[in-house]
A and B are shown apart, each in its own frame.
Chain A
Protein backbone atom coordinates (compact mmCIF):
# COMPACT_ATOMS: atom_id res chain seq x y z
CA UNK A 1 0.00 0.00 0.00
CA UNK A 2 1.26 3.43 -0.86
CA UNK A 3 2.16 5.48 2.18
CA UNK A 4 2.72 9.21 2.35
CA UNK A 5 5.83 9.81 0.27
CA UNK A 6 9.10 9.23 2.05
CA UNK A 7 11.24 9.99 -0.96
CA UNK A 8 11.43 12.89 -3.31
CA UNK A 9 10.40 16.48 -2.90
CA UNK A 10 8.35 18.05 -0.20
CA UNK A 11 6.36 20.59 -2.15
CA UNK A 12 4.68 23.72 -0.93
CA UNK A 13 1.02 23.67 -1.77
CA UNK A 14 -1.80 26.13 -1.37
CA UNK A 15 -4.91 25.31 0.59
CA UNK A 16 -8.15 27.22 1.04
CA UNK A 17 -9.72 27.75 4.43
CA UNK A 18 -13.19 26.22 4.38
CA UNK A 19 -14.06 26.43 8.06
CA UNK A 20 -12.84 27.89 11.33
CA UNK A 21 -13.74 26.47 14.73
CA UNK A 22 -13.09 28.17 18.05
CA UNK A 23 -11.82 25.47 20.38
CA UNK A 24 -11.21 27.87 23.27
CA UNK A 25 -10.50 31.56 23.77
CA UNK A 26 -6.94 31.16 22.54
CA UNK A 27 -7.21 28.18 20.23
CA UNK A 28 -8.79 27.83 16.82
CA UNK A 29 -9.02 24.97 14.35
CA UNK A 30 -8.53 25.69 10.68
CA UNK A 31 -10.14 23.34 8.18
CA UNK A 32 -8.45 23.35 4.80
CA UNK A 33 -9.23 22.17 1.34
CA UNK A 34 -6.02 20.97 -0.30
CA UNK A 35 -6.54 19.56 -3.77
CA UNK A 36 -3.16 17.83 -3.91
CA UNK A 37 -3.16 16.37 -0.41
CA UNK A 38 -1.63 12.88 -0.55
CA UNK A 39 -3.06 11.65 2.73
CA UNK A 40 -1.23 11.37 6.02
CA UNK A 41 -0.66 9.36 9.19
CA UNK A 42 -1.81 10.38 12.64
CA UNK A 43 0.91 12.31 14.42
CA UNK A 44 2.38 13.95 11.35
CA UNK A 45 2.50 17.70 10.92
CA UNK A 46 2.66 20.39 8.27
CA UNK A 47 4.84 23.45 7.89
CA UNK A 48 2.84 26.63 7.28
CA UNK A 49 4.51 29.56 5.59
CA UNK A 50 3.27 33.13 5.70
CA UNK A 51 4.66 35.77 3.35
CA UNK A 52 4.25 39.45 4.16
CA UNK A 53 3.86 42.14 1.52
CA UNK A 54 7.52 43.06 1.90
CA UNK A 55 8.52 39.50 1.21
CA UNK A 56 9.33 38.57 4.81
CA UNK A 57 8.49 34.93 5.45
CA UNK A 58 7.69 33.18 8.67
CA UNK A 59 7.23 29.47 8.98
CA UNK A 60 5.85 27.27 11.73
CA UNK A 61 4.98 23.62 12.18
CA UNK A 62 1.50 22.48 13.20
CA UNK A 63 0.38 18.98 14.00
CA UNK A 64 -2.48 17.64 11.95
CA UNK A 65 -5.58 17.42 14.12
CA UNK A 66 -7.47 15.38 11.56
CA UNK A 67 -7.17 11.64 11.12
CA UNK A 68 -6.30 10.10 7.76
CA UNK A 69 -9.91 8.95 7.47
CA UNK A 70 -11.40 12.39 8.01
CA UNK A 71 -11.00 13.37 4.40
CA UNK A 72 -10.09 16.93 5.28
CA UNK A 73 -7.03 18.62 6.68
CA UNK A 74 -7.46 20.27 10.05
CA UNK A 75 -4.87 22.26 11.98
CA UNK A 76 -5.41 23.45 15.54
CA UNK A 77 -3.53 26.62 16.40
CA UNK A 78 -2.90 28.12 19.81
CA UNK A 79 -2.29 31.86 19.91
CA UNK A 80 1.08 32.66 21.44
CA UNK A 81 1.53 36.16 22.88
CA UNK A 82 4.76 36.77 21.02
CA UNK A 83 3.88 34.62 18.06
CA UNK A 84 4.62 35.64 14.51
CA UNK A 85 2.32 33.18 12.82
CA UNK A 86 -0.21 32.02 15.40
CA UNK A 87 -1.99 35.34 15.92
CA UNK A 88 -2.71 35.46 12.20
CA UNK A 89 -3.86 31.86 11.92
CA UNK A 90 -5.96 31.90 15.06
CA UNK A 91 -7.21 35.46 14.69
CA UNK A 92 -7.20 37.18 11.33
CA UNK A 93 -7.53 34.27 8.95
CA UNK A 94 -10.95 34.10 7.28
CA UNK A 95 -12.88 31.44 5.44
CA UNK A 96 -11.88 31.68 1.82
CA UNK A 97 -8.32 32.78 2.59
CA UNK A 98 -5.45 30.72 1.31
CA UNK A 99 -2.53 29.23 3.20
CA UNK A 100 0.77 27.93 1.95
CA UNK A 101 1.88 24.70 3.56
CA UNK A 102 3.95 21.61 2.96
CA UNK A 103 3.44 18.13 4.25
CA UNK A 104 2.63 15.74 5.64
CA UNK A 105 5.91 15.65 7.50
CA UNK A 106 7.27 13.28 10.09
CA UNK A 107 7.92 9.58 10.45
CA UNK A 108 8.91 9.37 14.09
CA UNK A 109 5.96 10.71 16.05
CA UNK A 110 3.39 8.63 14.20
CA UNK A 111 0.85 5.99 15.23
CA UNK A 112 -0.99 3.74 12.84
CA UNK A 113 -3.50 1.14 14.00
CA UNK A 114 -1.36 -1.71 12.70
CA UNK A 115 1.30 -0.79 15.30
CA UNK A 116 -1.04 -2.08 17.98
CA UNK A 117 -0.90 -1.09 21.63
CA UNK A 118 -1.81 -0.54 24.31
CA UNK A 119 -1.44 3.18 23.73
CA UNK A 120 -0.14 5.52 26.41
CA UNK A 121 -0.55 9.18 25.58
CA UNK A 122 0.61 12.22 27.54
CA UNK A 123 -0.49 15.67 26.36
CA UNK A 124 0.73 18.99 27.70
CA UNK A 125 -1.43 21.90 26.54
CA UNK A 126 -1.71 21.99 22.77
CA UNK A 127 0.30 18.78 22.72
CA UNK A 128 -3.10 17.12 22.59
CA UNK A 129 -3.51 18.00 18.92
CA UNK A 130 -1.70 15.01 17.37
CA UNK A 131 -3.50 12.75 19.83
CA UNK A 132 -6.85 13.88 18.46
CA UNK A 133 -5.67 12.55 15.10
CA UNK A 134 -4.52 9.30 16.70
CA UNK A 135 -7.73 8.78 18.66
CA UNK A 136 -9.88 9.49 15.62
CA UNK A 137 -7.77 7.11 13.56
CA UNK A 138 -8.13 4.48 16.27
CA UNK A 139 -11.91 4.93 16.28
CA UNK A 140 -12.04 4.71 12.48
CA UNK A 141 -10.01 1.51 12.66
CA UNK A 142 -12.79 0.17 14.90
CA UNK A 143 -11.26 0.72 18.32
CA UNK A 144 -8.82 -2.06 18.74
CA UNK A 145 -6.21 -1.21 21.29
CA UNK A 146 -6.77 0.09 24.81
CA UNK A 147 -5.66 3.69 25.28
CA UNK A 148 -4.87 5.92 28.22
CA UNK A 149 -4.50 9.66 27.83
CA UNK A 150 -3.31 12.08 30.48
CA UNK A 151 -4.02 15.66 29.41
CA UNK A 152 -2.46 18.56 31.29
CA UNK A 153 -3.86 22.07 30.92
CA UNK A 154 -3.73 25.27 32.92
CA UNK A 155 -7.46 25.65 33.45
CA UNK A 156 -10.57 23.82 32.42
CA UNK A 157 -11.29 26.60 29.88
CA UNK A 158 -8.01 25.74 28.18
CA UNK A 159 -8.97 22.12 27.60
CA UNK A 160 -9.76 21.71 23.91
CA UNK A 161 -11.83 19.00 22.18
CA UNK A 162 -13.69 18.49 25.45
CA UNK A 163 -16.91 17.16 23.96
CA UNK A 164 -15.09 14.93 21.54
CA UNK A 165 -12.82 13.54 24.24
CA UNK A 166 -15.88 12.87 26.36
CA UNK A 167 -17.44 10.89 23.53
CA UNK A 168 -14.23 8.98 22.92
CA UNK A 169 -13.86 8.20 26.61
CA UNK A 170 -17.32 6.64 26.58
CA UNK A 171 -16.02 3.92 24.26
CA UNK A 172 -14.62 0.83 25.80
CA UNK A 173 -11.00 0.74 26.91
CA UNK A 174 -10.47 4.48 26.61
CA UNK A 175 -9.25 6.16 29.78
CA UNK A 176 -8.83 9.94 29.66
CA UNK A 177 -7.64 11.80 32.72
CA UNK A 178 -6.92 15.47 33.27
CA UNK A 179 -4.63 17.51 35.39
CA UNK A 180 -5.16 21.25 35.76
CA UNK A 181 -2.13 23.15 36.88
CA UNK A 182 -3.29 26.69 37.74
CA UNK A 183 -7.00 26.70 38.46
CA UNK A 184 -9.66 24.08 38.79
CA UNK A 185 -13.39 24.12 39.32
CA UNK A 186 -15.06 23.03 42.50
CA UNK A 187 -15.80 20.16 42.57
CA UNK A 188 -13.01 18.69 40.47
CA UNK A 189 -12.19 15.01 40.35
CA UNK A 190 -9.01 15.26 38.29
CA UNK A 191 -5.46 16.05 39.29
CA UNK A 192 -4.54 19.54 40.44
CA UNK A 193 -0.84 20.01 39.75
CA UNK A 194 1.89 19.82 37.17
CA UNK A 195 2.72 16.34 36.06
CA UNK A 196 5.22 14.48 38.22
CA UNK A 197 6.52 10.97 38.60
CA UNK A 198 3.82 9.96 41.05
CA UNK A 199 1.09 11.01 38.64
CA UNK A 200 2.78 9.24 35.74
CA UNK A 201 3.04 6.07 37.80
CA UNK A 202 -0.65 6.21 38.66
CA UNK A 203 -1.85 6.60 35.09
CA UNK A 204 0.70 4.48 33.27
CA UNK A 205 0.40 0.95 32.05
CA UNK A 206 2.98 -1.31 33.63
CA UNK A 207 6.15 -2.06 31.67
CA UNK A 208 4.94 -5.64 31.28
CA UNK A 209 2.04 -4.33 29.22
CA UNK A 210 4.63 -2.96 26.77
CA UNK A 211 2.67 0.14 25.81
CA UNK A 212 3.48 2.38 22.90
CA UNK A 213 4.13 5.70 24.60
CA UNK A 214 3.72 9.14 23.02
CA UNK A 215 4.47 12.35 24.89
CA UNK A 216 3.76 15.74 23.32
CA UNK A 217 3.91 19.19 24.82
CA UNK A 218 6.28 21.81 26.19
CA UNK A 219 9.83 20.64 26.76
CA UNK A 220 9.59 20.57 30.55
CA UNK A 221 6.44 18.48 30.47
CA UNK A 222 7.89 16.02 27.99
CA UNK A 223 11.14 15.63 29.90
CA UNK A 224 9.33 15.00 33.20
CA UNK A 225 7.07 12.36 31.71
CA UNK A 226 9.68 10.61 29.58
CA UNK A 227 12.16 10.47 32.47
CA UNK A 228 9.48 9.11 34.78
CA UNK A 229 8.46 6.42 32.32
CA UNK A 230 12.05 5.28 31.90
CA UNK A 231 12.53 5.24 35.69
CA UNK A 232 9.38 3.14 35.97
CA UNK A 233 10.99 0.57 33.72
CA UNK A 234 9.58 1.34 30.31
CA UNK A 235 11.70 0.78 27.24
CA UNK A 236 13.14 4.07 26.02
CA UNK A 237 12.75 2.91 22.45
CA UNK A 238 8.99 2.57 22.96
CA UNK A 239 8.67 6.22 24.03
CA UNK A 240 8.18 8.80 21.30
CA UNK A 241 8.52 12.47 22.23
CA UNK A 242 7.58 15.73 20.60
CA UNK A 243 8.69 18.94 22.34
CA UNK A 244 7.61 22.34 21.18
CA UNK A 245 9.28 24.83 23.45
CA UNK A 246 8.83 26.12 26.96
CA UNK A 247 5.25 27.18 27.23
CA UNK A 248 3.29 26.52 24.09
CA UNK A 249 3.26 25.50 20.46
Chain B
Protein backbone atom coordinates (compact mmCIF):
# COMPACT_ATOMS: atom_id res chain seq x y z
CA UNK B 1 0.00 0.00 0.00
CA UNK B 2 2.85 2.39 0.65
CA UNK B 3 3.72 2.57 -3.05
CA UNK B 4 0.17 3.14 -4.22
CA UNK B 5 -0.35 6.34 -6.13
CA UNK B 6 -2.78 8.70 -4.55
CA UNK B 7 -3.01 12.45 -5.06
CA UNK B 8 -1.55 15.50 -3.42
CA UNK B 9 -4.38 15.71 -0.90
CA UNK B 10 -2.76 12.83 0.98
CA UNK B 11 0.51 14.78 1.10
CA UNK B 12 -1.14 17.81 2.67
CA UNK B 13 0.16 17.09 6.16
CA UNK B 14 3.72 16.50 4.98
CA UNK B 15 3.62 19.62 2.81
CA UNK B 16 2.33 21.65 5.74
CA UNK B 17 5.21 20.42 7.86
CA UNK B 18 7.73 21.36 5.19
CA UNK B 19 6.36 24.74 4.13
CA UNK B 20 4.65 25.85 7.31
CA UNK B 21 1.29 26.37 5.65
CA UNK B 22 -1.54 24.71 3.72
CA UNK B 23 -0.16 23.92 0.25
CA UNK B 24 -2.75 21.81 -1.59
CA UNK B 25 -4.33 24.81 -3.30
CA UNK B 26 -0.99 26.19 -4.47
CA UNK B 27 -0.74 26.11 -8.27
CA UNK B 28 2.49 24.37 -9.22
CA UNK B 29 3.97 24.38 -12.70
CA UNK B 30 5.91 21.39 -13.98
CA UNK B 31 9.07 22.74 -15.54
CA UNK B 32 9.46 19.57 -17.61
CA UNK B 33 6.19 19.80 -19.55
CA UNK B 34 4.48 23.03 -18.48
CA UNK B 35 1.46 21.41 -16.85
CA UNK B 36 0.09 23.66 -14.10
CA UNK B 37 -2.44 22.87 -11.40
CA UNK B 38 -3.02 22.70 -7.66
CA UNK B 39 -0.64 20.48 -5.72
CA UNK B 40 -3.72 18.55 -4.57
CA UNK B 41 -4.06 17.21 -8.11
CA UNK B 42 -0.50 15.89 -8.49
CA UNK B 43 0.28 12.19 -8.30
CA UNK B 44 1.56 11.37 -4.83
CA UNK B 45 3.50 8.32 -3.75
CA UNK B 46 3.57 7.87 -0.01
CA UNK B 47 6.55 5.79 1.02
CA UNK B 48 9.36 5.90 3.50
CA UNK B 49 11.44 7.96 3.76
CA UNK B 50 9.31 10.59 2.06
CA UNK B 51 6.43 11.67 -0.10
CA UNK B 52 7.02 12.04 -3.83
CA UNK B 53 4.80 14.33 -5.89
CA UNK B 54 4.89 13.77 -9.64
CA UNK B 55 3.43 15.64 -12.59
CA UNK B 56 0.16 14.02 -13.62
CA UNK B 57 0.89 14.63 -17.27
CA UNK B 58 4.56 13.72 -17.73
CA UNK B 59 5.50 11.93 -14.45
CA UNK B 60 8.39 14.28 -13.69
CA UNK B 61 9.29 14.52 -10.04
CA UNK B 62 8.00 17.81 -8.68
CA UNK B 63 8.64 17.70 -4.95
CA UNK B 64 10.03 15.14 -2.53
CA UNK B 65 9.13 15.72 1.11
CA UNK B 66 11.38 14.01 3.62
CA UNK B 67 11.16 14.03 7.39
CA UNK B 68 14.69 14.49 8.67
CA UNK B 69 15.60 14.43 12.32
CA UNK B 70 15.73 18.21 12.46
CA UNK B 71 12.46 18.70 10.63
CA UNK B 72 10.55 18.05 7.45
CA UNK B 73 12.11 19.34 4.25
CA UNK B 74 10.67 19.74 0.76
CA UNK B 75 13.19 19.05 -1.99
CA UNK B 76 11.92 20.79 -5.12
CA UNK B 77 12.83 19.28 -8.47
CA UNK B 78 10.97 19.96 -11.74
CA UNK B 79 8.56 22.43 -10.23
CA UNK B 80 7.95 26.13 -10.13
CA UNK B 81 5.85 27.43 -7.26
CA UNK B 82 4.40 30.91 -7.08
CA UNK B 83 6.55 33.36 -5.20
CA UNK B 84 5.33 35.14 -2.11
CA UNK B 85 2.02 34.64 -0.38
CA UNK B 86 -0.63 32.53 -2.02
Contact = CB atoms under 8 A, between A and B. Distances in A.
A7 B24 contact: no
Contact of A241 (B12, B16, B20, B41): B41
B25 to A, nearest CB: 5
Contact of B1 (A7, A83, A240): A83
B13 A105 contact: yes
Interface in B28-46: 38, 40-41
A84 interface: yes
B9 interface: yes
Interface residues of B, number: 21
Nearest to A249: B6
Interface string B1-20: 11011111110110011001
Nearest to A8: B20
A111 to B, nearest CB: 14
B22 interface: yes
A107 to B, nearest CB: 4
Given A219-B5, A244-B6, A245-B4, A106 B20 contact: no
B24 A106 contact: yes
Contact of B24 (A103, A108, A245): A108
Given A7-B20, A243-B6, A244-B6, A107 B1 contact: no
Most buried by A among B7, B8, B13, B25: B13
A10 B2 CA distance: 22
A178 B68 CA distance: 45
A47 interface: yes
A103 B16 CA distance: 10
Contacts of A10: 13, 16-17
B78 to A, nearest CB: 21
B38 A108 contact: yes
A246 B20 contact: no
A20 B6 CA distance: 27
Given A6-B22, A8-B20, A10-B17, A109 B4 contact: no
A107 B24 contact: yes
A26 interface: no
Interface of A: 6-10, 45, 47, 61, 80, 82-84, 102-103, 105-109, 219, 240-246
11 contacts: A6-B22, A7-B20, A80-B1, A82-B1, A108-B12, A108-B40, A109-B9, A219-B7, A241-B7, A244-B7, A245-B6
Interface of B: 1-2, 4-10, 12-13, 16-17, 20-22, 24-25, 38, 40-41
- The 10 closest A-B CB pairs, nearest first, are A108-B40, A108-B24, A245-B4, A107-B22, A47-B13, A243-B7, A105-B12, A10-B16, A6-B22, A242-B9
